[in-house]
Structure 1
């Protein structure tokens, strides 16, 4: 995807215990700069910028039981209507719909397989200001305990296109892919819920994985080439506070 359209990923937000540490880690890894909103109602909400464009955000945990994690938001023309459609399709609405100042309208949900996600109706803030270039968001993976049910849910609620595959169906809109869905394998403990992971495009996956390790992160998978035709080289990383995200480098044409 090269632009935000209704139903597409529009924002990625990290919930962290230690905001300054998260700012240092992602700042050193991706060259992101950080700007904290001074309004106390936003509780230290901090936007990451890549070359002056909004790239992602980090916010404090809403309660001590909340896991450190990345949360993906999907664009909606009408958050309230999308929440009703999602509930009818088996989702749980946890927070909202609610106004976020004059920035937009937001709600937090989980899909029928347990994966948290948010929906965002933009007003003054549209979401990603940069995508699909080095050090910016470029892909999203859903790891689900029921792959087929997850695909059916998002197709119904967001009208996503699906490129079928036995193990890794890909999804998108307007003939452009932006993510994939995989089944959760037995290597993950049963208490790990279904979850979305954002992927950041980088110029060199191996170098980025090595830098992440030096900065205190753990490489969970890779770096490795994917088996898809002309697929990217990827790595899955857990940051020093425990949030998982991916990095990828598109494979050169030819």
Structure 2
């Protein structure tokens, strides 16, 4: 696969216990795992679905770091993207750095503090498969002020935006630069954090994995020691729910309309 500028190309989770994460996600999504990239690369462990790379798990190097999933947005020039991010009011948490022959990575935050990664591909391009059961399907940023966040992402990545009137909330979808904006080309979106979100919850990205059965995935997550943060519900784009794994990392699952 090749990924256009700003398109989600990878996700990983920073966990206190990678072996525990392998058991949880292996049963939930049917993933298998490699033996890890070794201490030189932070014992980074890739996950596979039918032999194709779909995600990674890594041990937290510092207990103060959040237990969370991070989405990586593709770029052809990580240094230039970092400059655009800073120029638009964001910040670089980790400046672009090479990861052996695999590529160049960085970690950024938008003007409200929502964190996302950058990936300039080397030998590792990103997802080998997506938008099918067990693989990544969607990402969205939860923001407080759309007047701040929308211009940031649309300016930095050139996204074309479209507001959705049928989402039941103030929701905007983004398509890559050059694509006609709309659900057919959208690669992510922006939701607003309203009164149902705790005041102390910071702006953040939520990453979705496709499943064949949303309710069964929620039940499996509970069985494995995770919890359901938002119960399964139907939307115009499928049945969704938000889950938290057995170590505290939040993510969502999506059962697409054709599977309902």
Normalising by the residue count of structure 1, what TM-score does the alignment of the two structures yield? 0.94
User: Which residues in structure 2 correspond to 1:212-231 (within 5 Å)?
Assistant: 212-226=221-235, 228=236, 231=237
Shift of 1:34: 1.0
Could you give the per-residue CA deviations for residues 146-197 of structure 1, whole angstroms, max 9, x where no partner exists? 2332121111011111112460111122241122211112333333211111
User: Which residues in structure 2 correspond to 1:23-34 (within 5 Å)?
Assistant: 23-34=22-33
Unaligned stretches of 5+ in structure 1? none
Shift of 1:38: 4.2
Q: 1:241 maps to what in 2?
A: 247
Could you give the per-residue CA deviations for residues 105-158 of structure 1, whole angstroms, max 9, x where no partner exists? 111110001100111100110011101111110111211122332121111011
Could you give the per-residue CA deviations for residues 34-63 of structure 1, whole angstroms, max 9, x where no partner exists? 113343211211000000000001111131
- Paired with 1:148 and 1:72, the residues of 2 have a C-alpha distance of 22
2:74, 2:118 within 8 Å by CA — same for their partners in 1? yes
Where 2:258 maps in the other structure, the secondary structure is coil
- Paired with 1:140 and 1:213, the residues of 2 have a C-alpha distance of 23
After the TM superposition, which segments of 4 or more aligned residues of structure 1 sit over 6 Å from their partners?
Answer: none
- Paired with 1:139 and 1:14, the residues of 2 have a C-alpha distance of 16
Unaligned stretches of 5+ in structure 2? none
Where 1:126 maps in the other structure, the secondary structure is coil
Q: 1:89 maps to what in 2?
A: 88
- Paired with 1:123 and 1:38, the residues of 2 have a C-alpha distance of 16
Moved more, 116-125 or 147-156: 147-156
- Paired with 2:108 and 2:209, the residues of 1 have a C-alpha distance of 23
Q: 1:178 maps to what in 2?
A: 187
Q: 1:168 maps to what in 2?
A: 171
User: Which residues in structure 2 correspond to 1:54-73 (within 5 Å)?
Assistant: 54-73=53-72
Where 2:108 maps in the other structure, the secondary structure is strand
- The alignment yields a C-alpha RMSD, in angstroms, of 1.7
Are 2:48 and 1:49 aligned? yes
2:213, 2:259 within 8 Å by CA — same for their partners in 1? no
Normalising by the residue count of structure 2, what TM-score does the alignment of the two structures yield? 0.92
